[in-house]
Structure 1
Amino acid sequence: MRDYLNGLEWLKSGLFWRTFFMLAALVTASMIAWMSNFRTLETTPRAQQLAAQIVSIVTITRAALAHSAPEKRQELLRDLATKEGVQIYLLEDSDRVEEPELTPFFLESSPLMKKGLGNNTRFASQINGISGFWISFDIEDDHYWLRLEQSRLDPPIGQQLLSWAVLTLFLTLLGAAIISKLINDPLSRLSNAARAVAKGKQPPPLPQKGPKEIRETNLSFNSMMEDLVRIESDRSIILAGISHDLRTPLARMQLEVEMANLSDDARTGMQSDLQQMDDIISQFLDYAKPLDKVEFERINISEVMQQVIDEAFRFQNLRLRTAITPDIHVNGNLTELKRLFNNIVENACRYGKTSGSPVITLDVQCSRKNKDRKLGIQISFRDHGLGVPEQDLVRLLRPFTRGDASRSQANGSGLGLAIVDRIIKSHGGKLRIYNHAEGGFVIVIALQESKEA
């Protein structure tokens, strides 16, 4: 049952269906109210019309029988029965009479018929087991029953009215669907464009047509996108230029350190500082690189993670505990995914040191996860360090932001997790970071699994 309700999630979340069902409910309620009022208001005039017809039929039939020759009456009765649907029976005291149902229509028409035929007029819905609409009348001292088909009393407009109502309702619902689509399409395009921007992509310009509000909104969004593209381009150029210009003096400094007459400890310390500066510049370049133009292919992410783990053994005092499910594939860029995992491992080496121990323990897991009938991948990295203060978790994914330096007294650019976040978004994934209940910092990545072609 839960799976069925999850399958109907679109009924609650989609603006198109919300608008359509709201209009459909409003139109249906209006149609029902209109039909109820119509049936109520048309009962009196229809009862008057039908009562006048029945009075005329009884009056004419009585006059025809009273003035016809005795030998012609049988032929007259046959003609009335076959041509007019009027049957005449003698009224007997032994007749089994069933009173008609007291419907609003009968209660409205019976006084009118008695007024035209006499107060002694009787009505019945069945005489001696024969159904119909029966009216009594007298010719001198003889008493008769006149029988009409019950269909004459049924509202002839009922089925026709119902057919027109159904047709009108169908056309109205069709119009409601069209109106809902016209309302939803511009918002849907805007939502898709905003979602593309959130993933680091550049959506095509929105069409500047339609109502004034839609045109102004799309124009504002297109202008915003142009500004963002220009800012992103300027930022990339500035960062790349600064990083490139900084590497030239760094290379000279590294050469001078090699050639200088220094002690081994001084030379090693200076080389470490220069290498750290070079790593920071590399992160600037990685962050400045645009991700919306990278090409995706089907990649065995299990093998990629295993390669990164094998390379990570170069780090001293790093112990890796892995649980990687084999043969898991995603659509992605091999270079960016390697950069993603390398940044996480390097971040753990910098900040994930266990208090009181020289060994850094990093747990790495990769497995399939099925949620709402969708194939997904969950990748997690957990160190066993001191974690991150809760107030810092929200801002860790921002560029140039680092956690509390007291975790490891390490320095960095603050771009590691920002680069990770950008790469994951460009691959349509989700990132979650939190502190483990038993200690340590946890990074969880959710990606969509690629099915076989």
Structure 2
Amino acid sequence: MAAERRRWLPLPRSLLGRMLLLTLLAILAAQTLSSVIWLSQLRATQLEGLVTTARSLAHSMSASVRYFRSLPVNYRPLVLDQLRSMGGTRFVVSVNDRPLQMKLLPPTPRKQAVTETVTEVLRQALGSAADISVTFVRPDDLLIFNGGLKLDELPRSWAHYALTLEPLNPPVLVTQIQLAPGEWLYIASLLPEPYTGLEEPILPTQQLWFILLTSAFLLLFIGLLVHLQSRPLKRLARTARHLSLGAEVEPVAEGGGREVVEVARAFNAMRERISRYLTERSQLFSAISHDLRTPITRLRLRVELLDDESLQAKFGRDLDDLELLVKGALQCVKDTDIHENIEPVDLNYLLHGLIEPYLGSGRVTLDGAARDLYPGKPLALRRCIGNLLDNALKYGERAHLHIEDDAEAFVLHVDDEGPGVPEQKLEQVFEPHFRLASQQQGYGMGLGIARNLAHSHGGELSLRNLRDGGLRVTLWLPRQSR
């Protein structure tokens, strides 16, 4: 499940990348929430203004209806002709003998709010029994008179200036009110700005630019802050890598935030303790080496003075075993505690120097090459690879070396033609003095020393039995952490 989550949600590996990603997500969430709230408030405010405008428009319509009702019937056509000749009025008014049937626009919340408000105001002004129809019509489907004339078929001075707003062509509010049997007052009008189009407001372009600019500046400042705060951590990581390789390193400069300063102080204290421990251990084993060799030599001289040859042979074997154990322990400490400076190592030159004595016999083959220099300890790498080669030749008769080198790591596979190692003992062979039943040579220290030397370079040593027989030892040394 965790691997699947990482595959679907890849995170940047750097602290800066993760902080910027999390900040970006937080900004997007906050801006989205604030924009939704702002937009909902804007729509509520505009809907309230739209209803107020519709009420005002309805009151003007009711005044027009009362005015026409007050006119004598013979004067109504004359007033209509004057209105058409004048132009520029808010309404297009006509009197028809029946309500006109037109293709209506589909209802929306805003259209319904306008029609319900206009109907309510007109009924309050004209009476609840009044026959009223309030609808919205597209300009192309708008009819004006009983004869079915459309807007484009009328003189422009009659209705175009009041009912068209090119190139928008907003919907037209058509109100038809029955004045008397066979007499319907027709009023067509546009809603005033900014409600002409009756469109739901969307996020303005200015608001989008504001969100983008504030997000960009915030990411810039947070990126700069994280970069400044992570510099002490990068120095700490670089010093820790050099310390792990045994190089002499200066104390880490204490800087940055309080927590980073505390980490730097703890690391400096640890560095001093490790350095003191390594020095004391080196002195201790040098003293042990000197102290043990002297009594062993003295015992050998005394064994030579014994008259009983069988007893002399037994003591000799015991001394041989004791000397083997002492040499093995001292060799382990000596080979894994190599005080060298890190420098560029030509691994191709190193490998050819190790396999040159065996090239004539055909016991060793080499495939591939290192593509560039490797920063490490030359003597430690030589001992590490030399132990792998000696181990393959000692127990497998032949050694086949294969190199894989890329930007991430240098990998060396050492295959032999021996019996391999039982699966349950692949890790035990790295333990000091451990030897298989078929292995009676050496101290049993070679693979353990090689793994320790690989670890000192930040690498790893692993074993795997080959399908066709033999053992594969893989040395992996990282390049990216350098």
Could you say which TM-score interval applies, normalised by the shorter chain?
0.5 to 0.7
The answer to whether the 8 Å contact 1:89/1:144 transfers is yes
2:174 to 124, 131, 136: 136
1:316-327 aligned within 5 A = 320-325=363-368
Q: What residue in structure 2 maps to residue 394 of structure 1?
A: 427
Q: 1:105 to 1:64 in 2, by over 3 A?
A: closer
1:289 aligns with 2:338: yes
Q: Which residue of 2 aligns with 1:83?
A: none
Letter in 2 for 1:52: T
Q: 1:379 is matched with which residue?
A: 413
What is the TM-score with the length of structure 2 in the denominator? Answer: 0.63
Question: How is 1:119-198 mapped onto 2 (pairs within 5 angstroms)?
Answer: 120-129=132-141, 131-137=169-175, 142-148=185-191, 151-155=196-200, 158-159=203-204, 161-167=207-213, 198=244
How far did residue 321 of structure 1 move? Answer: 3.5
Instruction: Please tell me whether Structure 1 or Structure 2 has the larger radius of gyration of its CA atoms.
Output: 2
Residue 227 of structure 1 is matched in structure 2 by 273
Name whichever of 136-145 and 268-277 sits farther off: 268-277
Corresponding residue number in structure 2 for 1:446 = 476
Residues in 2 aligned to 1:156 and 1:61: alpha-carbon distance in whole angstroms: 27
Are 2:123 and 1:115 equivalent residues in the alignment? no
1:275 and 1:156, CA in 2 relative to 1: closer, same or farther beyond 3 A? Answer: closer
CA apart distance, 1:331: 1.9
Cα distance between partner residues in 2 of 1:178 and 1:449: 28
Where 1:406 maps in the other structure, the secondary structure is: coil
Contact 1:432 1:445 (C-alpha < 8 Å) held by counterparts = yes
Between the aligned partners of 2:428 and 2:273, the Cα distance in structure 1 is: 25
Match of 1:309 in 2: 355
The whole-number CA distance in structure 1 between the counterparts of 2:60 and 2:263 is: 76
Letter in 1 for 2:402: C
* Corresponding residue number in structure 1 for 2:144: none
Whole-Å Cα distance in 2 between the matches of residues 246 and 320 of structure 1?
Answer: 41
Matched residue SS, 1:412: coil
Question: Percent identity among equivalent residues?
Answer: 16
What corresponds to 1:55 in structure 2? 55
SS class of match (2:450) = helix
Is 1:362 aligned to residue 395 of structure 2?
Answer: no
How far does residue 134 in structure 1 lie from its aligned partner after superposition?
2.0
Deviation at 1:53, TM superposition (A): 1.9
Supply the distance in 2 between the matched residues of 1:56 and 1:136 (Cα, whole angstroms): 15
Residue 146 (structure 1) shift: 0.8
Alpha-carbon distance, 1:284 to partner: 3.8
Q: Is the 8 A contact 1:434 1:442 kept in 2?
A: yes
Give distance in 2, aligned partners of 1:35 and 1:28.
10
Question: Where do 5+ consecutive residues of structure 1 fail to align?
Answer: 1-5, 81-85, 354-359
Q: Aligned partners of 1:206 and 1:77: how far apart in 2? A: 87
Give the deviation of 1:287 after TM superposition: 2.7
1:99 matches 2:104: yes
Write the distance in 1 (CA, Å) between the matches of 2:236 and 2:9. Answer: 21
Number of residue pairs aligned between Structure 1 and Structure 2: 412
CA deviation vs aligned residue, 1:340-359 (integer Å, no higher than 9, x gap): 2322234456xx44xxxxxx
Q: Could you tell me how far apart the structure 1 residues matched to 2:295 and 2:423 are?
A: 35
State the superposition RMSD in angstroms: 5.3
Letter matched to residue 304 of structure 1: L
What is the rounded CA distance, in whole Å, between the counterparts of 1:402 and 1:417 in structure 2?
10
TM (normalized to structure 1)?
0.67
Letter matched to residue 463 of structure 2: I
Secondary structure of the equivalent of 2:171? strand
The Cα of 1:115 is off from its aligned counterpart by 2.4
1:294-343 per-position Cα deviation (integer Å, ceiling 9, x unaligned): 3224x1x34432321233689xxx98242333575432454333322322
CA distance in 1, matches of 2:267, 2:121: 77
User: Separation in 2 of the partners of 1:151 and 1:186?
Assistant: 61
Equivalent position of 2:440 in the other structure: 409
Tell me the CA shift for residue 50 of structure 1. 1.4
